[in-house]
Amino acid sequence: MTRGVSLFVRENLEAFAVAIALALVVRHFSLEAFRIPSKSMMPTLIGSDRGGDRILVDKYRWLSGEPHRYEPTVFQYPLNRSKNFIKRLVGLPGEKLTIEGGDIWTSRDGGKTWQIERKGADAREALFFPYYPEPVEKRDAFRNRENWERGPGWTADERKRRFAVDASAKSTMSFRAEVLAYNEHMYGYPELREGGDGAGDLRVRFDLDVERAGTLAVLLTERGLAHRLVLGPEGSKAIVALAEGSEKEYPLDARIAAGGEYEISFANVDDALVVEIRGDAEVTTEVPFPVEFSREATSSWTHRVLFEAEGMKAAIGKIRIDRDVQYGEQYAPEGGWDIPENHYFMLGDNTNSSKDSRAWKVAVVTLKDGTVIRWEEAKDLPLGDVPGQPNADFKTDGPDRVIEVKADVDGLLRRFHTADVERVERNVPAPLVSRDHLVGRAFAIFWPIYVWPVLKDPTRVGLIR
C-alpha cells in the first residue's frame, strides 16, 4: 500500500515537473504574455490606467525570419534592458529615416533621394483611428451638434446617421470641423480652422443607395490640395490634386447606376489614394501620387472633408471619417536618423504621448580606467540636483563623492566616485534597438474579457495588426 502511494506521488511529481519544463521552454522560445503598462500605443492597445490589455507575443517568429516595418514589437528598452517596451517598428537596418507631414520617409543613398514608406493593408487598417462620429478619445464630441454644412438638396439626421441628397444642380455638404491629428487634443468642439494640429491623411466610408443616377464626388483636402473620388453612371475616377492647380486622373471601372446599392471607402493616406467600392460595381485600387510631387510642401494647412453632388438623388448612410496616425516630428535631427545594420527605430501609435525612439537619451560617464557607464537621462531634474540622481551635476574639481545610478542601460546598480570621472556627456541620443534585444511580435489581445450585463465595457480580445 505504502509503495503504491509512493509510486502515485512520484508519477504525479514527474508529470508536474515535465509540464513546468515544457511551459518554460514555450515561454523562452515561443510565446509569452505581457501587460500593456502605458498609453503610448493608444488606441491600438490600452494601458494599465484603463485596465491594461494583456497580449501574447510570438518570440519564435524572428528566430527564423526578419521583422517587417509597422509590426507591433516587444523589445528590451535600450535605456534599461530590464524593462520590456512595445512600439511599432518603423525603421529598418541600413536606412536614413525622417518624419515629414506625419509620414515615415526613408533613404538608402545617404539622403540624396527619399521615399515615403506606405503601410500594407493590415497596418493601414490598424492605424486608421475613428474620428467621426465617435473620436477615440472623446466619443461624444460630435453628439447633439450640426456637424455638416449643407447646401440645397441635402438633408441629414445625424442621430440615425442618415443623409440624403436630391440635387439637380451642383450642391455640397461639408464637414464643419477640423480633423485633429492627436488623441489628447479632442477636448471641446474642434471648429474648422487652419493650424498645425490638423490631420491630412483621412478616410471616408459610407453606404450609397442611388435612386436617380448623377455624379457624387468626395473631396479630401490635405494642405489645401483637394483629392477627389468622382462616382458616376458613365464611369468613376480618382483625381490627384497637384501643386499649382494641376491634377492627374485615374479612371476606375465602376459605374454608379440608378437602383444600385454600394459601400464606398475613399482614403488619402501615405501619398496615395485608396479606393474600395462594393456592390453592383466592385473596385479595389491604390493610386500612388507622382514621385515628383511626393515631398512638395504647400503653404496651406487646410484639411477638409466634403461631398459634392450633381443630378443625383440618393440616400447616404453611416458616414464615417477616420484619420491616419500622424507621427510627430519632435526631436527629428536635420537630415534624419541613421540606422546601422542590426538596429531598428520604434514609434508609438499615440505619437504625441509616446516615449519612443525620437526622445530616448542617455547620460554617459567615462571613468579614468576606461569604464563607460550609460543610463537614462532624466528629463525632469535640473542640472546640479541631488547627488545620485540621473541629472546630478558631476563636478570632478570639487570634493570627491559617490554617485549611485540605480539602473544603467543593462538594468544594473552602478556606483562610482566623482574623482574617477574622466568625461561626462549629457543628453546623448540613443534612438535605436539592436536586433538581439527584440523579444517578439505582438499578435493577439487575450484579456480583458467583459460579460454583459455584469461588465459592460467592450471585450478587447482579438488580433493585433
**Is 70 exceeded by the pLDDT of residue 210?**
yes
**Is 50 exceeded by the pLDDT of residue 18?**
no
Cα gap 152→307, rounded to integer Å: 13
Phi, psi angle pair for 419, to nearest 5°: -65, -20
Q: Which three cell numbers stand for residue 377?
A: 537621462
In this predicted model, what pLDDT tens digit does every residue of 295-327 receive, in sequence order?
A: 555 555 677 899 999 999 999 999 999 999 999
Cα gap 349→36, rounded to integer Å: 13
Domains present along the chain, CATH in parentheses: 2-122+339-355+434-463 (2.10.109.10), 128-324 (2.60.120.560), 361-430 (no CATH)
Chain mean pLDDT for the chain: 84
Which residue would you say has higher pLDDT here, 277 or 281?
Answer: 277
3-state secondary structure the chain: CHHHHHHHHHHHHHHHHHHHHHHHHHHHHCEEEEECCCCCCCCCCCCHHHCCCEEEEECCHHHCCCCCCCCEEEEECCCCCCCEEEEEEEECCCCEEEEECCEEEEECCCCCCCEECCCCHHHHHHCEEEEECCCCCCCCCCCCCCCEEECCCEEEECCCCEEEEEECCCEEEEECECCECCHHHCCCCCECCCCCCECCCEEEEEEEEEEECCEEEEEEEECCEEEEEEECCCCEEEEEECHHHCEEEEEECCCCCCCCEEEEEEEECCCEEEEEEEECCCEEEEEECCHHHCCCCCCCCCCEEEEEEECEEEEEEEEEEEEECCCCCCCCCCCCEECCCCEEEEECCCHHHCCCCCCCEEEEEEECCCCEEEEECCCCCCCCECCCCCCECCCCCCCCCEEEECCCCCCCCEEEEHHHEEEEEEEEECCEEEHHHEEEEEEEEEECCCCCCCCCCCCCCEECC
The C-alpha angle 203, 206, 211, rounded to 5 degrees, equals 145
pLDDT of residue 41: 93
Q: Which residues of 152-178 are buried (b: 16+ CB within 10 A; e: fewer)?
A: ebbebebeeeebbbbbeeebbbbbbbb
Output the pTM of the full model.
Answer: 0.87
Q: Which of 23-37, 126-140, 173-187 has the lowest mean pLDDT?
A: 23-37
**Is 90 exceeded by the pLDDT of residue 81?**
yes
Q: What is the mean pLDDT of residues 27-43?
A: 81
Which residue would you say has higher pLDDT here, 227 or 304?
Answer: 227
pLDDT of residue 380: 39
Q: What is the mean pLDDT of residues 66-89?
A: 96
pLDDT of residue 93: 98
pLDDT of residue 379: 47
Residue 329 pLDDT class (50, 70, 90 cuts): confident
Q: What is the mean pLDDT of residues 166-191?
A: 76
pLDDT more than 70, % of the chain: 81
Q: What is the mean pLDDT of residues 243-268?
A: 93
Cα gap 437→77, rounded to integer Å: 8
In this predicted model, what pLDDT tens digit does every residue of 365-416 receive, in sequence order?
A: 999 999 999 999 864 333 343 334 444 455 545 677 888 888 999 999 999 9
**Is 60 exceeded by the pLDDT of residue 30?**
yes
Burial class (CB in 10 A: 0-12, 13-18, 19+), 328: buried
**Which residue's entry shows cell 510565446?**
31
**Is 60 exceeded by the pLDDT of residue 336?**
yes
pLDDT of residue 151: 96
Which residue would you say has higher pLDDT here, 16 or 189?
Answer: 189
Which residue would you say has higher pLDDT here, 328 or 123?
Answer: 123
